[in-house]
């Protein structure tokens, strides 16, 4: 059964353009719960200062940052409508067409039993490492499955996106700063090609800074 959060985040992703990140929508960042430099509360404070509309902390194989922030936000007894919308997020390592890739899960139920193999701060093994099983697990948890930064792998992005479409991925992380420029900007030529490729398979396009450092405005 598809819940309203799934439909809501899907509509938000449909609105993403190359100009959405980093100031409006940022669906890829890391906290100290994986390999990031910012604590969850530091991410939260920056999201407030930057007036970000929607964001997700996508730690590797962990949802602890989300759970921590939800407690803090709820304990403030403040009107959440005035704050950036925090969505559940995770980054999962898996095999797609025999190539090691990363998959982002967005908007899922963090308590879902279907995600248990992927939220234990370690990479999956065996059949759980297959992209098909990762996508199914994210979908069973009412989430969106996204192929992260498709031009960073050993196989060409068009081959990986084609395979992702066959496995019912929902989206591709199209807008990404591959050059790691100090001022975040999507790499125009490659991102435009990825956008066209994703569209040819009716896949949505997301964006994110993939922040590991001290600013949500850059990687």
Sign of the CA dihedral 124, 149, 174, 60? positive
pLDDT confidence of residue 6? 86
pLDDT confidence of residue 148? 98
Short-list 61, 77, 50, 104, CA closest to 217: 50
Boundaries of domain holding 150: 4-207
92: Cβ–Cβ under 8 A, 6 or more apart, which residues?
60, 61, 102, 103, 104, 105, 118, 124, 134
CA distance 193 to 60: 27
Short-list 153, 172, 154, CA closest to 162: 172
- Does the pLDDT at position 4 exceed 80? no
pLDDT confidence of residue 80? 55
Averaged pLDDT, 206-219: 96
Short-list 110, 105, 96, 106, CA closest to 68: 110
Distance set, CA 177 to CA 27, 95, 124, 141, 185 (Å):
13, 23, 27, 29, 6
Instruction: Summarize pLDDT for 121-177 with one digit per residue, the tens.
Output: 999 999 999 999 999 999 999 999 999 999 999 999 999 999 999 999 999 999 999
**Residue 193 belongs to some domain of the structure:** yes
pLDDT confidence of residue 76? 65
- Least confident stretch, 10-24, 26-40, 78-92: 78-92
**Residue 109 belongs to some domain of the structure:** yes
Averaged pLDDT, 96-125: 96
**Residue 215 belongs to some domain of the structure:** no
CA distance 30 to 12: 21
pLDDT confidence of residue 74? 79
pLDDT confidence of residue 72? 86
**Residue 90 belongs to some domain of the structure:** yes
pLDDT confidence of residue 83? 79
Number of domains in the chain: 1
Short-list 38, 10, 6, 17, CA closest to 210: 38
Contact, 50 vs 204, CB < 8 A?
A: no
pLDDT confidence of residue 12? 97
**Residue 143 belongs to some domain of the structure:** yes
CA distance 60 to 103: 10
pLDDT confidence of residue 31? 98
Bridge-based pairing of strands 144-147 and 25-26 is unpaired
CA distance 81 to 211: 25
Distance set, CA 138 to CA 11, 25, 106, 115, 181 (Å):
18, 21, 8, 7, 31
**Residue 213 belongs to some domain of the structure:** no
Dihedral (Cα; 3, 8, 14, 20), 10-degree rounding:
-140
Instruction: Summarize pLDDT for 71-97 with one digit per residue, the tens.
Output: 988 776 555 556 799 999 999 999 999
CATH classification of the domain holding 24: 3.20.20.140
pTM of the model: 0.96
- Does the pLDDT at position 187 exceed 80? yes
């Amino acid at each position: 059964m598809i819940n309203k959060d799934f439909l809501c985040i899907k509509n938000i992703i449909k609105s993403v353009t190359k100009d959405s990140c980093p100031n409006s929508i940022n669906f890829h960042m890391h906290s100290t719960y994986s390999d990031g430099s910012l604590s969850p509360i530091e991410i939260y404070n920056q999201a407030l200062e930057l007036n970000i509309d929607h964001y997700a902390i996508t730690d590797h194989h962990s949802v602890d940052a989300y759970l921590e922030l939800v407690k803090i936000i709820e304990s403030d007894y403040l009107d959440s409508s005035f704050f950036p919308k925090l969505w559940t997020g995770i980054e999962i390592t898996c095999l797609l067409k025999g190539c090691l890739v990363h998959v982002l899960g967005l908007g899922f139920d963090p308590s879902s039993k279907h995600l248990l193999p992927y939220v234990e701060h370690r990479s999956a093994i065996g059949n759980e490492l297959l992209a098909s099983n990762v996508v199914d697990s994210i979908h069973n948890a009412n989430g969106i499955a996204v192929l992260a930064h498709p031009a960073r792998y050993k196989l060409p992005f068009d081959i990986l996106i084609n395979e992702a479409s066959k496995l019912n991925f929902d989206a591709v992380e199209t807008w990404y700063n591959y050059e790691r420029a100090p001022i975040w900007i999507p790499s125009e030529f490659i991102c435009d090609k990825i956008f066209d490729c994703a569209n040819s398979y009716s896949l949505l396009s997301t964006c994110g800074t993939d922040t590991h450092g001290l600013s949500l405005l850059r990687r």
